[in-house]
Amino acid sequence: MVGDEGPVAIMSEIPSLKPEHRQEVLELSRKHSAAFEALLEHGIADGSIAHCDVRMTGNAIMGSLNWIPKWFHGDPAVAEKILEEFPRILSAGLAAR
């Protein structure tokens, strides 16, 4: 939940940023989204991911992950459940049939 740039921010707060900071965050967000969509496209091409709407699938997965800071409050048992369940839940619909 943290990295070199510090803790994650809830992306819904972007409009409250100063214009120069807002632009920086939006550019980074677009870069990450494009890289994730490319990963999905690669999986579709190699057959490891079922055909899907890449933009909507990326938004669904990233939206669910980005929402974690809103409801997760550091409980180790919940963290373990996230690690255990989220990969299964989020990838179940991507499995090639």
Domain parsing of the chain, residue ranges = 12-94
* Cβ neighbours of 28 (radius 10 Å): 11
pLDDT for residue 90 = 86
Mean pLDDT by 10 residues, the chain (97 residues): 54 81 89 94 95 93 84 88 89 72
Q: What is the pTM of this model?
A: 0.71
pLDDT for residue 31 = 93
CA distance 40 to 3: 23
Angle at 97 (CA atoms; ends 35, 89), nearest 5 degrees: 60
Which CATH number fits the domain 12-94, given the four candidates 1.10.1050.10, 3.90.190.20, 3.30.70.360, 1.10.357.10? 1.10.357.10
pLDDT for residue 51 = 92
* Coil/strand/helix, residue 5: coil
